[in-house]
Structure 1
Amino acid sequence: MASDFAQFVRHLEKEGIVPAGASWTRMEGGRTNRLWKLDAGEGTDALVVKLYSHAAPNPMFPNQPEAEERVLRHLVGQGVAPECHALLETPLGPCLIYRYLPGAPWRTDPAPVARQLRRLHQMPAPPDLRHGVDGAAQIIEQTRLILSHVPQKQSREHEQTLPRMALPGPSGQRALLHGDVVPGNLVMASEGPVLIDWQCPAAGDPAEDLAIFLSPAMQQLYCGRPLDKAERAAFLAAYDDPETIARFRALAPWHHWRMAAYCLWRLHQGATDYAEGYALERAALCRYAESAAARDAVL
């Protein structure tokens, strides 16, 4: 592997993409792709070198180098994404290089994140992005695709927890979505939160981004705990779009059902840290089922 990395570095230097003799520091946090911080010395901008994984396709979060480059170039100067320098093929696969953003990953106060997402969702999406999942029927379809990659017994058991309520329909929106708004993909820069790791952008319903950020599993994985009731309320108040918030709330049972299935798939892939996330999503799903049962009893 060391010889492969040396070949990779020589290729970038030969192409004139990175300066010879720069300092390479492996960056932690990426769950799919490999990242390095590249420092060429005082007076030059530090860069991030992102080498895309050859792992099997992810049924919920696709890994798309060309889409990431397209969105980064589309968002130049908007303060919501880093500045792209280059995308190129290397002996180890596709590689994206963008300007390093100093700052820590987001951890507290969800309101600035909500305001930044609201800004993003009001921006036009570039052409040729994948269509995001829209409406309960499409969430169910995607969840069943995820379940097709887990053992049949677990898939059948999870299918039994499908929410049994009227299905909210699609929004028909084509908003620009990040597609993977987890705490590890939010850098708190001097001007506010900036989104990184744009490898699975989409055009679709903004409720999708809200569901991923507010997911108990994703918050547990990156921050060690899900957001509490007050934090969730603060996020939604700061997002300040009643129509999208109402749709997000209506779709919440299916969002939890899908995320629980995703955690189940990740567990099957050997990612044991998803076990608690799975339990949290199932618990949230059960709360919705109990509420629905109580309403039916009253009726």
Structure 2
Amino acid sequence: FALNGRTVDVVDNFHTEFDKVTATIGQLNTAKAKVYTDMSLDTITLSLGVPEPSRVSDAEAQIMIKLNRNYQSPAEYDIIDIIHEQKEKLVEESDTTISIEKVPCMPDSERKCHELSISFRITAPLIHDVLAVSAMDTDRRSTTTYINDGVDFEGEPLLPLLTHTIFSKKGNQHPVEITYLTQPDRRYNLWSDQHGFTWMKNSYGSWFQITHADFERLQDTHANVMTRSHSSFEDLVEKEKEKARQVFDAESIKSTVGESFSHDAPVRIDKLKDPVILEKLRIAELAALEYLESR
């Protein structure tokens, strides 16, 4: 395997002694791979941005070269198709060129291999550096070699920044708000909105804000509070709490019952049979009724 002039002999498909190299976004890169099979080759695939070995199917971009046997050609193969598998246009399809030739597998070997040369141009930084080269023959037998350290593509991206729009509504009485999100760097799950706040997207496709503005209370129009979703519901709860406190902390009740009544209240049902407890309960009830009637 070779990339931009650096060559390595593959002896282990899952750990290739290939030190990481850097390449510039927008410049042409050339990868070469020698392949040997006693059958006919069907597909050669260069996978870019592989998360880790054994996950070649999750690559960010793949260049698939479809071959067909042609013994009349010096290379014994014709390139019949070039397929780009990618969610984003990370590989500029119009700049991809492929060539194939028949060469010795090793400098002093009589065995012949087929060497594919793949020239391609990257348009944005990749999230992962690992590369992989896969070969499949016409019997559907395949092998994959991972270039573990891979290549780091550096430079300014040529792709436009990814954007997303969120429509939200904070209440029935308020208009729809529009949030425009932009991803400054595709390698990181961080998005910025027009107000300067940062967002993330979870694995379910939902958005959540990780930096927040100061809390701003939205007041509903004046009306009787009928539901918990009304903006004045919390005020109603606090108002009722204060009303209850004023009733049970009233001086007229304290003067009749005393402060110690709360500590003498029954905690078991059998205490209700105690005449002393029953008398205190009766006095407290009468005092509360008298207080409420006087208001």
Both proteins in one fold, TM over 0.5 = no
Scaled by the length of structure 2, the TM-score of the pair is 0.20
- Structure with higher Rg: it is 2
Query: Going by fraction, where is strand more abundant, 1 or 2?
Result: 2
Structure number with greater CO (CA < 8 Å, separation at least 6) is 1
